[in-house]
Amino acid sequence: MSLYRYASPQSFYPLAGRMLPWFAVAAVLLAAVGLVIGFLVAPTDFQQGEVYRIIFIHVPSAWMAMFVYLVMAGYAVLTLSLRARLPAMMTLALAPTGAVMAAIALWTGALWGKPTWGTYWAWDARMTSTLILLFLYLGYLALVNAIEDTQRADRAGAVLVLVGAVNVPIIYFSVNWWNTLHQGSSISVTGGSTMAAIMLQGMLIMTFAAWCYCIAAALHRVRSIIVEREGHTSWVRRMVSDGAGRSRQKAGNRT
C-alpha cells in the first residue's frame, strides 16, 4: 500500500486517530519515568546543586521548540511546491505546540538563570534568539488567522515559516558564534556526553516524552483542522452523521 494515499486529508484523518492514543500514552509513561530519574534518582550537581534539575524540562522543551519549527519548515516547502492541503494543515497543527515548547524553554531558562546568573533575563544570544522563535510561532498563527482565504493564508504562512527557519541554526550555534552566558553543549554527536550517565538517561527519556507529546498534540489538532476545513465534503458530513447516529443509539440503550 502506497504511503502517498495518506497525503489526502480523508485518508490521514483515521490514521491520525489510530496513532494518537499510542503517542499520548507513550508521552505520559516516558515523562513519568524521566521525571523520577531527573528529580529523584539523579545525583545533585556538584557545581549548581539542586537547581540544575530544571534542565530535565528546559533542555527537552528547547530542543522540541527548534525541532518542531524545522518540521513546520518541511511542511511549508511541501505546501508551496505541491499546493497540497494536508501539509498546510500539519503546519498549522504544529505551530501552537511549538510555541508552547518555546515558552516553556524561556520560562524554565529564566528560573534557572536567577540563581545561576543572578538575573531572570540577560539578553543572552540564545535567550534572545529563542524569544524570536516564540514570536515567529505567534506571528505565523496571527498571519494565518488574519487572512480569510485559506489558500492565501497557507501560502503566506509557509513563506513566513521558511524565512524564519534561519533562526533555528542561530539558536543552536549561538554559544559557539558569540560570547554568551550559556554554557556549551553537554552532549555532542562526535564528542559524546560530559554528563553523568544517569543524568543523560533522564534527559533523553524526557526528550522522547516531549517528542511523543508534540506528535500527539499535533495529531489531535490536525484532526480538528481537517474537519473544519473539509466540512463541505461528503465524507466529513457522512462521518458527522454516523457519529450523531451512534450517539443517539447509545443514549437510547441507556434509557
Q: Is the pLDDT of residue 190 over 60?
A: no
Which tops the pLDDT comparison, 9 or 107? 107
Q: Using one digit for the tens of pLDDT, what is the confidence trace for 55-64? A: 899 999 999 9
pLDDT level of residue 127 (50, 70, 90 thresholds): confident
Express as a percent the part of the chain with pLDDT over 90. 50
Which tops the pLDDT comparison, 168 or 174? 168
User: What is the pLDDT at residue 175?
Assistant: 61
User: What is the pLDDT at residue 238?
Assistant: 75
Q: Which of 204, 223, 231, 206 is nearest to 20 (CA)?
A: 223
User: What is the pLDDT at residue 191?
Assistant: 44
User: What is the pLDDT at residue 1?
Assistant: 47
pLDDT level of residue 73 (50, 70, 90 thresholds): very high
Q: Which of 161, 160, 219 is nearest to 9 (CA)?
A: 219
Please state the rounded mean pLDDT for residues 115-123.
76
pLDDT level of residue 119 (50, 70, 90 thresholds): confident
Count each helix (H run) and each strand (E run) in the chain, helices first: 8, 2
- Number of residues assigned to the chain: 255
Q: Is the pLDDT of residue 80 over 60?
A: yes
Q: Using one digit for the tens of pLDDT, what is the confidence trace for 143-160? A: 999 999 999 999 999 999
Q: Using one digit for the tens of pLDDT, what is the confidence trace for 207-244? A: 999 999 999 999 999 999 998 887 777 767 777 665 54
Q: What average pLDDT is seen over the chain? A: 83
Q: Is the pLDDT of residue 51 over 90?
A: no
Express as a percent the part of the chain with pLDDT over 70. 82
With beta carbons less than 8 A apart as the criterion, state whether 56 and 202 touch: yes
Which tops the pLDDT comparison, 10 or 23? 23
Most confident of 38-47, 93-102, 221-230, 235-244: 93-102
Q: What is the DSSP string of 52-118?
A: GGGHHHHHHHHHHHHHHHHHHHHHHHHHHHH--HHHHHHHHHHHHHHHHHHHHHHHHHHHHHHHHHS
Q: What is the DSSP string of 202-255?
A: HHHHHHHHHHHHHHHHHHHHHHHHHHHHTTTSHHHHHHHHHHHHHHHHHHHHH-
